Amino acid sequence: MLQRRLVSRVKQPSVLWKPCLQHRQPYQRRHSSGEAGEGNTGHINVAPSEGILFFNNLLPLNVRWPHKLLVLFDRRKASISTDQERFARVGAVSPTEVVQNAIKASKLGLGEVRIVELLPRTKEGGAFLKFSHDDATDAASVAEAVRVHLKNNKVRPWWNPFTTVKANLVLGKPWIEDLFRLPSRRVRVEFFSTQPGGGAAELSQEQLYSFFRPYGKLRDIVAQPSDSKVVPRYAYLDFSRISKAVMAKNCLHGYTVTEAQGGGQLGTIFRLTYEKKQRAGWARDWIVNHPRIVIPILAALIAGLSVAVFDPIRTLSIRAHVTRAFHIEDNVIIRWFKTQSNDLISKVQQFRNQVDNGEGGMQVVWDDRKTDIEQIQSWLMETADTFIIVQGPRGSGKRELVIDHALEHKRAAHKVLVIDCKPIQEARGDAATIAAAAGQVGYRPVFSWVNNISGLMDLAAQGMTGVKAGFSETLENQLSKIWNNTSIALKSIALEGRSKNDTDGNLSDDEWLEAHPERRPVLVIDNFLHKSTEPGSGLVYDKLAEYAARLTTSNIAHVIFLTNDVSFSKSLSKALPDRVFRQIALRDCSLETAKRYVIQHLDFDAAEQKSSKDDAEEARKLTPSQKRKDLQELDQVIPLLGGRLTDLEFLARRIKAGETPTRAVGEIIDQSSSEILKMFLLLSSETREWSPQQAWTLVRSLAASDTLRFNEVLLLDIYKTGGEKALAALEQAELISVQSLNGRPYSIKPGKPVYQPAFQRLVGDKVLAAKMDLTLLAEAIGTESKSIDKLEQELHLLGELPKQPGELTSRINWLLGKIAASQTKIEGYELESAGLKKILLSEY
C-alpha cells in the first residue's frame, strides 16, 4: 500500500520531499513529458536549481513486445511510456522510491529535494528522473546519495539477476528521441564547437577514457584516422556491455568540455549516438574474402543435404518403378473388377497375349526357340556370378524372347528391370544423358538441369580461386549415383519376403542371396553397345558394365545383356575379366518355321473375327491362307528372303495388302539393294573404316557364292592394307556376317539372308557393275604402278654400283620378273577397263 501511494505521487508533476517536514507542501500541476521530450522537442528544460538522474536496467533492453502485452491487461492507458504509474509497477524498481529512500538514509544533510518528473525510456530499459533542490543542496550530492543507496541496497531485475540497477547524474543535455535506433555497445562521439563556425577540439584517447570510463568498462577506443576529411571529427567507444553504453550516452550527451579539461578555447560539446556493429557484414566479408574455404564447404553441405533428403526418396521411386507399385493395373479396385468379370477379362487378355506375341504368328517362332528359353530360365536358377548374353542381329526377336517368354514368371512377380541403352546413348549433352538414364530406372527426383547451372558456378569459382569448387559433378559421378541407388532398390526387392523364422534365417543378407538365386530380380540391359563407335560412348557402356558386374558378384541380381554387336566380349571382359560368359546367339528361323509364321500372320485377323460370330456358320468358311492360291509361291520365295523376323513380317503385311509373294519379295530385294548401294557403295567417308571398293569386292564375291573363306578374302589385293579392320567394320554395319570356330573367324556370309539376292541384283546391273569394277581396276593399276616404281628405284640403286657382283644376278632377275608381272597386270587391267568404259558409254 505504501508503494502504491508513493507511485501515485509520481503522476503529479510536482511533489516536495523533505525529511524534516511532516506534511506535504502544495504543488503546481505541470504537463508530463513523453519519449520525445517536453513538447516533442527532444529536450528536457532544466532550471539552475534542478537536476536529472538516469536509471538503467529498469526494463529489458530492446524488448518491446512484453510492454505491448502489458497494455492488453490494463486498458486504462495506451502505453507505459506515458503512464508513469504502470512504468513504476512493471520496472525492476520505482526510481521515485529509490530517491526518497536514498534521501532518508543519506548522512550528507540534504535539504529540500522535490521530484519534478519521470521520463521512461523503454527502448533503453531506463528512465530519466528530474528533481529540484534548494540552495543548500546541489545535484551532485543527491546523485551521490542515490548511488550509495543503490550500492548498499542492490536491486536485481527479475529477467537478469546478474546485473543491478544503477543511477548517475546527467551532466550534459540529453537528447530525448523516439527514433527507431536501438542501443548498441558502440557509441559514436562527435566533437562540436560551442559557437557556430568555431573550431572544436578533438580529444585524445586518454581524455576520452577519463570522461567515459566512470560509466563502465571500455573495450576499445577507435579514433578517427588523421588523414580523414570527414567533419565533424569523431571517435568510437566500445563498451563491454550495452547497459554501460546506455548510461554514458544519456549522461554525457551535450556535455561541454571546458578549456581546462582540454576542450579548446571555446569549448567542445559531445554529441553521442549509438553505432551498430555490422556483424552480418563481418560474416559476409569473410565469406567473400575466403572463397577457397567457403565454396567447398557449401558444396559439401549441398551434397550432404541431397544425400540425406533425396536419396531415400529416389531409392523408393526406383523400387516402385520395378515393382509397379503405382501402376493402375495393379490397383486393388482394378483387380476387383477383373475378378468380377473373369470371362470378359480372359478374352481380352487372350487377345492381348496374341498381339504381344506378334499378331499370332510369333508363337511358331517361340516354339522353334523353346530350347533357348528353357536355357535362360535354368541359368536364372543357378548361383553363377556371370553375365547372360543374348546376341543376334536386329530383327531376330531378342527382347521378346527374353522379356516376354524367358522372364514371364519374373515379370509376374515384378522383379524385372529393363534398361534400354538406346535413349541414353542418343541423348545430346550431359543433362539429357542423366535424365535419360534416370528415366530408365525410375530415379526421381532428378535435377539434371542443375548440373548446367553448377557448371557455370564452378567456372566462376575457378576464376576467383584458381581451382574448381566441386559444385558440378561429372557425368561419370552422376551415373554412378543413379546406379548405386538402383543397387540398393534391387537388393531390397531381392530380400523381400525373407523371414527370421525360416530355416536359414540366421544367414547374413549376402549369404542368403547366394543361397537363393531364384529370389533375385533380373536386370535386362537392352541395345548394349548401340552406336558404340561414336565418340564418348565408351563412358556410358563402361560404367554400365561395371555396375552390372557389381550386381552379379554381390549376388544382388541376375544380369542379361541384349546386343547386336558381335564384339561385346571386348567391352564386358573389362568388367569381369575372370569369368566365362553364358551366351546365346540367335540365328534366323528355319525355312519351314518362316513359312508357318507368314501363314499364321495372315490368318490372325480372320481368327479374331471368327470368334465373335456363330461358330457353326463360320466353321464352313476357309481361312485367308486357304483362299489364296498364290501362297504356293512361298516355297520359292522364302529361300530368297530367309528367316529374319523383320523381313518375314514385312512380307506378311505386303501379302495381306494384296500383293503376291513373288512381287512382295521382289520389292523387298529391291529395297535392300537400294540400302546397300546408298550405305556401302556410293558414299565414301574418312570416318568409315572401309572403302566402297572393299565393299564392292565382297558384294561381287558373295553374289557368286553364299560363303567366302575369311583368310582368302584377306589375301586379296584390296584387303592387304587394313583388311581385318575393314571386315570388322562391315560386320558391325551388318553388310556381312563373320562365322567363328573355336574363337577364330573362318567364313563370311551376307549380313541378312535377303542380302544374297540383293547382291546378285546389284551385280546384274551392268552400269553399276561397270562403274564399280572400273574404280576397282583404277585402284589396282595405281597399286601396281607404285610397286613398279619401288622396284625400279632398287634397280637404279643397283645399277649405280661400280661393279656388278655375281651374287646380285638373282636379285636383279627377280626384280625384272616382278616388274614384268606387274606390267602384264596393268596391261590386262587397262584392257578390261576399256571394255567397261564402252559399257558406260553405251548403257544407261
Residues 6+ apart with CB under 8 A from 690: 680, 726, 729, 730
pLDDT for position 452: 58
Smallest CA-to-CA distance from 250 within 125, 101, 117 is with 125
Q: Out of 6-15, 205-214, 713-722, 741-750, which region has the weakest mean confidence (pLDDT)?
A: 6-15
pTM of the model: 0.62
Report d(CA 190, CA 634) in Å as an integer: 110
The DSSP-derived string for 298-340 is: HHHHHHHHIIIIIHHHHHHHHHHHHHTTT-GGG-HHHHHHHHH
pLDDT, mean of residues 364-372: 82
Is the pLDDT assigned to residue 612 strictly greater than 50?
no
Report d(CA 251, CA 245) in Å as an integer: 10
Overall CATH class of domain 591-764 = mainly alpha
When the pLDDT of each residue in the chain is averaged and rounded to a whole number, the result is: 81
Is the pLDDT assigned to residue 613 strictly greater than 50?
no
Say which residue, 818 or 290, is predicted with more confidence.
818
Q: Are 38 and 31 in contact (CB under 8 A)?
A: yes
Omega before residue 445 within 30° of 0, cis = yes
Is the pLDDT assigned to residue 248 strictly greater than 80?
yes
pLDDT for position 713: 92
pLDDT band, very low/low/confident/very high, at 674 (cuts 50, 70, 90): very high
Task: Give buried/exposed letters for 371-402 (b at 16+ CB in 10 A, else e).
Answer: ebbeebeebbeeeebbbbbbbbbebbbbebbb
Cβ-based neighbour number of residue 67 at 10 Å: 19
Is the pLDDT assigned to residue 620 strictly greater than 80?
no
Report d(CA 224, CA 611) in Å as an integer: 103
Is the pLDDT assigned to residue 28 strictly greater than 50?
no
Give phi and psi for 835, each to the nearest 5: -65, -35
pLDDT for position 669: 92
pLDDT for position 43: 85
Report d(CA 600, CA 233) in Å as an integer: 105
pLDDT, mean of residues 265-289: 80
Query: What three-state secondary structure class fits 512?
Result: helix
The set of cell numbers assigned to 800 is 649405280
pLDDT for position 823: 93
Long-range Cβ pairs for the range 463-467 (8 Å, 24+): 464/291, 465/291, 465/292, 465/295, 467/292
Half-sphere exposure of residue 486, counting CA atoms within 13 Å on the CB side? 29
The set of cell numbers assigned to 520 is 533375385
Q: Are 502 and 383 in contact (CB under 8 A)?
A: no
pLDDT, mean of residues 725-747: 85
Report d(CA 661, CA 633) in Å as an integer: 6
Query: What three-state secondary structure class fits 594?
Result: helix
pLDDT band, very low/low/confident/very high, at 32 (cuts 50, 70, 90): low
Measure the N-to-C terminal CA separation of the chain; round to a whole number of Å.
130
Overall CATH class of domain 183-277 = alpha beta
Report d(CA 656, CA 627) in Å as an integer: 12
Burial of 534 (0-12, 13-18, 19+ CB in 10 A): exposed
525-557 confidence digits (pLDDT tens): 998 988 776 666 678 888 899 999 999 999 999
pLDDT for position 709: 93
411-426 confidence digits (pLDDT tens): 888 889 999 998 998 8
Domain 317-325+357-585 has CATH 3.50.30.50: no
pLDDT band, very low/low/confident/very high, at 307 (cuts 50, 70, 90): low
Say which residue, 5 or 99, is predicted with more confidence.
99
Smallest CA-to-CA distance from 232 within 290, 193, 186, 206 is with 193
Task: Give buried/exposed letters for 429-445 (b at 16+ CB in 10 A, else e).
Answer: ebbebbbbbbbbbbbee
Report d(CA 35, CA 58) in Å as an integer: 15
